[in-house]
Amino acid sequence: MGGNLPALELMALYTAAAMHDYDHPGRTNAFLVATTAPQAVLYNDRSVLENYHAASAWSLLLNNPNNYFISGLEAAEFKRFRFLVIEAILATDLKRHFEILAEFNAKVNDEDAAGVDWTLETDRLLVTQMVIKLADINGPAKAKNLHQQWTYRIAEEFYEQGDEEASLGLPISPYMDRRNPQLAKLQETFINHLVAPLCNAMVTGGLLPGTWVDEDGQEGHDELDTSAGKDTEDDEDVDTDDIDNDLDLTPVKERKPPRKVHCLLTKNMKENYEFWAAYIKREEEEQTRAPVINMESDKMSTSSLKDQVSEKSEMEPIKEESESPPPSTPNPMGGNLPHSPNSAFQAATLSAPTTATATPTVAPEFSGSQCSASLETGPVVYSQQQAMHTTEQVCDDDDDKSTEV
């Protein structure tokens, strides 16, 4: 894909990725608006964090000569570069998620889609917006141990916001009440409604690296078949004098099913989805057996977790996938977990089976205004309206924090 982008646009995409979460306050857009924070006032409650990240990062770039790496750009190039960076950062606002996804599907994945025209600046901009969006919320597409490390970190950040909301007398946002932890449900919903449709749209659109796993993935697979209705090799031999003029002889192009692609991101996402779904199932079974559960304050099974994880003053740094802990390491998530009343869930994940037992579901296709999770990720079809309603509970204006989910 990078070969289809001019160097200036590719540099703008990298720069936007570096800038897009700069100086994040650890609170959501909804919280900043509800508390009339200075950022919300400055940006009129619209894409508050996204505008703040872009403006703050650009100030850092422009006001420090040591940071100004674009001094060699001409005026027109600078204008174009700045426009692309800002547009990419603003695209990470989850309020625009379904708008951008629907535009991409209409361009690439719908039945009569023309595909990306790499000669058009607007099409290339749409691609860069999709790329940075996936980079922003691709936590569930990481390897399981890395995904879980980031999940616990974002959960602690959510709980801190919930604590502040409670202290201010505000309603605690969904999934942010540490006395009622719903971490597994948060991740299952986040993957199902946001990450899977986005990731799969990019896979079927040919924007993610992967390999064909079916024999039909050859050149000419989607070519129009015009052989139907012909019983001779030459069109001139066909006698059409006796054919009803109302008969439509136009060949019909059949809709081919999506070709299967092996992509590491979708593989990881499927495994993580099944892990959370399996945990939810076990949790529901336990609640059925013991409906009364003591959820008192901050004392939930902390001691049991301490028996399994040694305490240190700081969490170990996140390890890249290539630096995953060896199989003998007792903690599959690598490093210590942040202290949290959600210890019961954390301890359970340490002993959870590596193979999820979630019930397999059918992998539907993208169709019209629907966003579906294909490539056998497990999520189900849902309408855009239903997804937007549910998404408001998952990440109400959560924008940049989704990077770590």
Residues within the annotated binding site for Zn(2+)?
Answer: 20-21, 136
HSE-CB at 191 with a 13 A cutoff on CA atoms is 30
212 backbone dihedrals φ, ψ, rounded to 5°: -70, 140
Q: Provide the 3-class DSSP secondary structure of residue 397.
A: coil
367 backbone dihedrals φ, ψ, rounded to 5°: -150, 120
Residues tagged in the binding site annotation:
20-21, 136
Q: Which two tokens stand for residue 99?
A: 């708008």
Integer Cα distance of 388 and 63 in angstroms: 39
Helix, strand and coil in the chain, % to nearest 5? 50, 0, 50
Locus of tokens 């294909």: 374
Cβ atoms < 10 Å from Cβ of 139: 24
Locus of tokens 């879980």: 148
Say if CB 305 and CB 267 are below 8 A apart: no
Give the DSSP per-residue string, 43-77.
TTTSSHHHHHHHHHHHHHHHH-TTT-TTTT--HHH
Q: Provide the 3-class DSSP secondary structure of residue 212.
A: strand
Locus of tokens 């948060």: 186
Integer Cα distance of 35 and 246 in angstroms: 67
